[in-house]
Amino acid sequence: MTTNIGTWIGAICTLAMFSFLVKENKVFRTFQHLYVGVAAGYGIVFQWNSIKNVAWDPLTKKGDMLWIVPIILGLLLFTRFIRGYQWISRWPLAFLMGLGAGLSMKAIESDFVRQVQASLVSLTTLDNIIVVVGTVTALAYFYFTLKPSKTLSGASMIGRYVLMMTFGAAFGNAVMGRISLLIGQMQFLFGDWILLIKK
Amino acid sequence: MRALGNVDRRILYVVLILAVLYPLIRPLGLPFRVSDWTLNFYKAVDKMQAGETMLMSIDYSVSGGPDVHPQAQAVFKHALSKKVKVVFVAFVTEGVEFANQMIAVAEKDGGKYGEDFANLGFVPGVEVAISAFAQDILKVYPKDVRGNVTADLPIMKGIKTAGDFKLITEYATGIPGPAEWIRQVQTRYKVPIACGVVTVMGPQNEPYYQSGQIVGLLSGLRSAAEYEIAMKMPGAATAAMDAQSMGHVAIVLFVVLGNIAYLSEKGKKGGR
């Protein structure tokens, strides 16, 4: 076994979380709270460092007064905790929503135009045929404007199977991902901690 | 058959853990092939010239780390072997520590911080931060994680915007992910982007690869193993592939046995 204290702490935390597999217990709950607390503390430190480096230092050390605006907007978000002044927090929120909406407009090119372009392919290979048929029939499944004709119903049914295959692939990947996470923890426990796995 | 259908879930956990653990201790050497997604990611890094700069955005959390971190490790190793300079950034807090871990290993191997690689750290704001970073890197990152002035780092010479990198690689377990980088960086700066994602995100990001918006895609631990094989440097990810295969065999077995038990019980009740 390793003598590294950090690895020991990590291994104890991992085993405590794994104890949930047997049944819900106090050890699991204690370490769960510890995890939430550590994660919150870690996040706050990094967020504060970022505010200090990006906004506070330029404002106080270089006199870059423009940083007052985002700092005040950020502080106004906390007014939602002051009874009677909650409405003020809507201003920075409105600003953030406007900013978010503006930035997402770029999706028209990246997620719409480029994806439509990529679907306009010559039907010369099986892959291309699957892409076109899959896209058109999946869209047909969500087409509710017209009364379904025989053709539309047929396309819609194929679209349903295309969607089911997509969900199947997504589920398969989800399983694979979870196994990878288990492998990662097994490598840590039996490789880094117990030193049973050769590197 | 009824017993098979009502088996205690804890037995299934034990079987799964043993199925995964055995090949980790005694590798079986099961074969696997390198996919086009991975090969094109590898080629994008491999064709970079010594002295050129690559960005690695480490945007994965601790919970998804075992799935994505091996990808980033393999790509970083590849970049260093080509003498490509690497700048790390993070738009997820945990990303900073993952980058520090990789840099610590590289420094032990003789790499020089600030010249061969640097870690600029974390900036909050997700997509907004990525957009601001792409426009003016030095304004968003005035200092790196070690407190150095970013503009003074030799590695940052000539790097002002995202368009100044020869290649951007992004590793994600959620948001921000490939979609945000493509929206805010690729559409505007036309710089090639390659992405590594947690396995669950693989299929939903495949359309970006098919459309050519990203030049390569790594999906989970398997892709990390494929990348190691492409580099001809098998590592921890390759060693984990036997365990992955055996884990899948165990799960398929559970599904088949569960269905046999279900259908058998259904048959006894007269198909109702």
Determine the pLDDT at residue B272: 55
What CATH code is assigned to B36-234? 3.40.50
Name the residue of chain B whose CA is nearest to A107's CA: B183
* Residue B140 φ/ψ region, left for φ over 0, alpha for ψ in the -120 to 50 degree band, beta for the rest: alpha
- In chain B, residues with a C-beta closer than 8 Å to the C-beta of A54 are 123, 139-140, 142
pLDDT tens, position by position, A56-74: 999 999 888 999 999 999 9
Predicted confidence at residue B39, as pLDDT, reads 97
Taking residues A137-145, report their average pLDDT.
90
Q: Which residues contact A71 (CB under 8 A, 6 or more apart)?
A: A51, A55, A56, A59
Q: Do B200 and A181 touch (CB under 8 A)?
A: no
- What is the interface pTM, i.e. ipTM, of the complex? 0.85
Instruction: Assess whether pLDDT exceeds 90 at residue A32.
Output: yes
pLDDT over 70, % of chain A:
99
Q: What is the pLDDT of residue B239?
A: 87
Mean pLDDT by 10 residues, chain B (272 residues): 82 94 90 92 97 97 92 96 97 95 96 96 92 94 94 95 96 94 92 95 91 95 94 89 93 92 83 58
Nearest to B10 among A22, A166, A197 (CB): A22
pLDDT value for B69: 95
Tell me whether residues A106 and B123 touch, CB distance under 8 A: no
Cβ <8 Å between A173 and B220: yes
DSSP code at position B152: G
pLDDT in tens, A87-134: 999 999 999 999 989 988 888 988 899 999 988 888 999 999 999 999
Give, to the nearest 10 degrees, the angle between helix B65-81 and helix B94-108: 40
B238 touches chain A (CB under 8 A): no
Chain A within 8 Å of B49 (Cβ-Cβ)?
A: no
Nearest Cα neighbor of B246 from B41, B28, B86, B87 is B28
Contact between A175 and B179 using a beta-carbon 8 Å cutoff: no
Calculate how close chain A gets to B45, using CA atoms only, in Å.
23
- Decide if B205 touches A, using CB distance below 8 A: no
**For residue B4, what pLDDT is reported?**
78
CA distance B182 to chain A (A): 7
Q: How is chain B split into domains, by residue range?
A: 2-27+244-268, 36-234
User: Do residues B72 and B98 lie in contact, with contact meaning Cβ atoms separated by under 8 Å?
Assistant: yes
3-state DSSP call for residue B227?
A: helix
Distance separating alpha carbons of residues A150 and A140, to the nearest angstrom = 12
Q: Output the pLDDT for position A90.
A: 94
Q: What is the rounded CA–CA span in Å between residue B237 and residue B27?
A: 12
> Coil, strand or helix: which one is B27?
coil
Task: Look at residue A149 in the predicted model and tell me its pLDDT.
Answer: 84
Give the integer Cα–Cα distance in Å for B38 and B222.
10
B window 160-189, beta carbon within 8 A of A: 179, 182-184, 186-188
Q: For residue B162, which of B133, B139, B182 has the smallest C-alpha distance? A: B133
| pLDDT at residue B271, rounded to an integer | 60
Residue with tokens 């046999």: B260
Euclidean distance between CA atoms B184 and B134, whole angstroms = 8
B15 touches chain A (CB under 8 A): no
Of the candidates B65, B182, B186, the beta carbon closest to that of A184 is on B65
Size (chain A), residues: 199
